[in-house]
Every structure is written in C-alpha cells, then in structure tokens.
Copies of this chain bind each other. A is one copy, B any other.
Amino acid sequence: MSEDRYQLGLEKLAEIDGEQGQKVVDALQSIAPEFATLMIEFGFGDIYSRPGLDLKSREIATVAALTALGNAAPQLKVHLHAALNVGCSPKEIVEILMQMALYAGFPAALNGLFVAKEVFAERGIELVEAP
C-alpha cells in the first residue's frame, strides 16, 4: 500500500461519496479487503484526484456511463449521491438520465430514473412541485 496514494484516495472518496463509498469499502472487508485498497488508491487517488477536470464534470461522466452500461445499479446509486455532493442539481441529474435514452435506449434511461427516484427520496428531494 502506498501511504500517499491511499491517503489521497481516502480523502477524495470522503469528499465525493461521503458515507456511501465507505459502505462499499466495509462490505469488501470479509471477501477482498485488498480490492478496497486498490479501488481507493487507483480510483480515487490516481483518477479522481487528477487535475484537468472538475469533480462535477467527473460525476456527470460517471452517472452517464453507469446509466448507459445498465448493469451497475448499486454503483449508480452511490454516484447519484456523489453527483449531488459535488454540486449537480437534481434537475441536472434528471436531464443526464433522460439524455441517455438517445445513446443506450429508453430502458437504460428509465432504470436510471428509478434509481434517482430512490436517491432523491432518501435525501428528501422533491422535484415536481405540488400544483
């Protein structure tokens, strides 16, 4: 374990994902604790810590990719929280998810929107005003 990359990654993980990311790390402890270390070092220490792209743009890219791939609902949930944490508005997130219909089809977009519905409910976000 490289102390610096790990420490840098841990701070970036906390900044982006908050407690959601820590839950994933915890869940790995009994099966592959070194994978959690590699994910923090490489994912958050090496990639998310790079200059050249702001965190909000990074989360827009991640939310779009996970929605399009369509086989990563738990990770999409983590990154919808992350996107809100780093400055995406709920409305912006809905726009990203809707746009994915063009590139990955309506089912991928629909499934992404229903994950967002859960995330918004957990955070008490109401998107559509009462009449």
Contacts and interface: CB of A to CB of B under 8 A. Distances in A.
B104 A65 contact: yes
Interface in A23-66: 24, 27-35, 38-39, 41-43, 46-48, 50, 52-53, 57-58, 60-66
Contact of A71 (B57, B71, B99): B71
- What is the size category of the interface that chain A forms with chain B? 35 or more
Given A57-B92, A68-B69, A98-B32, A39 B106 contact: yes
B111 A50 contact: no
A1 B99 CA distance: 18
Interface of A: 2, 5, 24, 27-35, 38-39, 41-43, 46-48, 50, 52-53, 57-58, 60-72, 74-75, 91-92, 94-111, 113-114, 116-117, 120, 126-128
